[in-house]
């Protein structure tokens, strides 16, 4: 056996061993327990914490934004609920104006305008610093919440040791293409295997951006660190959900997963946007890995296995793939062991997922292995080599003229609650003009994911 064949075989066997141990333990810990949680307890509605829902928006499709805000307005939460919609310098203000008009008379909605595109993180912070609820729920503007999401997340947060909690994500456009079907299954696995197992130890490593709730008192302690994250001296403008989660864990708070709090979000329906999204996520994951490593000594040993499995596993798989392809190209010898083991691991994983989810469709997730091998692994290698690149990849700056300190004015009046003098303005919405250096409140005709 030549060097390439030996390397490929050793790498793939090492990958199979690590993956078997890691996935077996993960599946065991991800199984539901009979222990009741605070989210299941009956809670006195008078004691329910106040919740601020923050929705950052950037050039969002009006129909998508409308569906998102409608799902928030229809929450069955018995406590105090306020909604802050933050426009991050969008160029389609006229298009979304009718959506805002829908909530012109709803005193629980406030709309905030950022004159220039500053990024999702800045948009979130703009609302956090102007809101006052006990809990803060971050929701992407392309996400639809089930009616009981706020209630279930808030009940979980009754435990003061918990700093953050996330719900289960699904793809709202799951039936659009073969790719959206795969991504929907990928989300199920990420939530109900990875996050569910991490939650057993109160250490979910990434409370996903589309639907994540935070304790305000903890959030305010970390807000400056969150806002000023740097990588190699440059501002880090993405990966905000993972970084904020790591900061919560670093500060000593628990982070949790609530599987019955369902949020449906729009996922990429073609390979180009999907790969750009995965490249952005890979960079943020690599950036926060070192920060996460410092936490492992104080967490359960499973979390160390989790980090090793998620980072070393793909490296071993990539090594076996590269050496196997080189063997095929140079010696015309098929790396059978590599092919058979990868196929066997794929079949086992998809079969276990199909049994756990009780859905045969998960057998079709085997197609994702091909995407992972020939697209995602090379993309992750590229991400590792370009960590300093902070391009959002899917964002386009809005074409809004620089008007200095003047308010942006659009044709349709857009409103928000509690504006100064609002009682005399029928159907008007408060707008907060957050131009750089300005904190004036606008009560006139001015006007909204950073994902």
**Structural domain boundaries of the chain?**
3-27+308-385, 49-269
**pLDDT for the residue numbered 1:** 56
Identify the segments of the chain with pLDDT beneath 70: 1, 34-46, 232-235, 237-238, 390-451
Question: What's the CATH number of domain 49-269, 3.90.550.10, 3.40.50.1970, 3.40.50.150, 3.30.1490.20?
Answer: 3.90.550.10
pLDDT at res. 289: 84
Q: How far, in Å, CA of 206 to CA of 112, rounded? A: 27
* Per-residue pLDDT at 118: 87
Predicted confidence at residue 42, as pLDDT, reads 44
Q: How many residues does the chain have?
A: 451
**Given this model, what pLDDT does residue 2 score?**
84
pLDDT (0 to 100) of residue 439: 33
Question: What is residue 447's predicted lDDT score, i.e. its pLDDT?
Answer: 32
What lies within 8 Å, CB to CB, of 199 at 6+ separation is 255, 256, 257
């Amino acid at each position: 056996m030549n060097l390439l064949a030996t390397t490929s075989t050793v790498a793939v066997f090492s990958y199979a061993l690590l993956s078997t141990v890691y996935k077996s333990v993960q599946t065991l810990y991800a199984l539901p327990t009979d222990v009741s949680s605070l989210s299941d307890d009956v809670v006195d509605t008078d004691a329910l914490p106040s919740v601020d829902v923050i929705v950052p928006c950037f050039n969002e499709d009006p129909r998508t934004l409308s569906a998102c805000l409608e799902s928030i307005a229809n929450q069955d939460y018995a406590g105090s609920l306020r909604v802050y919609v933050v426009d991050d310098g969008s160029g389609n203000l006229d298009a979304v104006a009718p959506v805002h008009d829908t909530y012109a008379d709803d005193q629980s909605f406030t709309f905030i305008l950022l004159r220039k595109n500053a990024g999702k993180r800045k948009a979130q912070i703009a609302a956090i610093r102007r809101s006052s609820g006990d809990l803060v729920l971050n929701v992407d503007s392309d996400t639809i919440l089930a009616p009981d999401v706020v209630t279930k997340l808030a009940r979980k947060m009754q435990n003061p040791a918990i700093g953050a909690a996330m719900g289960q994500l699904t793809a709202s456009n799951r039936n659009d293409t073969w790719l959206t079907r795969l991504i929907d299954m990928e989300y199920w696995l990420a939530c109900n295997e990875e996050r569910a197992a991490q939650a057993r130890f109160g250490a979910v490593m990434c409370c996903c951006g589309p639907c994540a709730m935070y304790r305000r008192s903890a959030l305010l302690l970390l807000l400056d660190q969150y806002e000023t994250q740097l990588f190699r001296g440059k501002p880090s403008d993405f990966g905000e959900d993972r970084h904020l989660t790591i900061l919560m864990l670093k500060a000593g708070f628990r982070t949790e997963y609530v599987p019955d709090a369902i949020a449906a979000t729009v996922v990429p329906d073609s390979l180009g946007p999907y790969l750009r999204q995965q490249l952005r996520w890979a960079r943020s994951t690599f950036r926060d890995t070192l920060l996460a490593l410092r936490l492992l000594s104080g967490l359960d040993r499973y979390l160390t296995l989790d980090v090793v499995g998620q980072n070393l596993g793909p490296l071993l798989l990539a090594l076996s793939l590269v050496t196997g392809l080189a063997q095929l190209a140079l010696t015309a010898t098929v790396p059978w062991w590599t092919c058979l083991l990868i196929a066997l691991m794929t079949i086992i994983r998809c079969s276990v997922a199909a049994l756990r989810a009780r859905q045969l469709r998960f057998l079709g997730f085997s197609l994702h292995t091909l995407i992972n091998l020939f697209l995602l692994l090379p993309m992750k290698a590229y991400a590792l080599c370009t960590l300093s690149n902070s391009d959002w990849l899917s964002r386009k700056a809005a074409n809004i003229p620089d008007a200095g300190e003047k308010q942006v004015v659009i044709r349709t009046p857009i409103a928000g609650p509690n504006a100064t003098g609002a009682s005399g303005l029928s159907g008007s919405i408060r707008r907060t003009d957050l131009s750089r250096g300005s904190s004036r409140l606008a009560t006139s005709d001015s006007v909204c994911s950073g994902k």
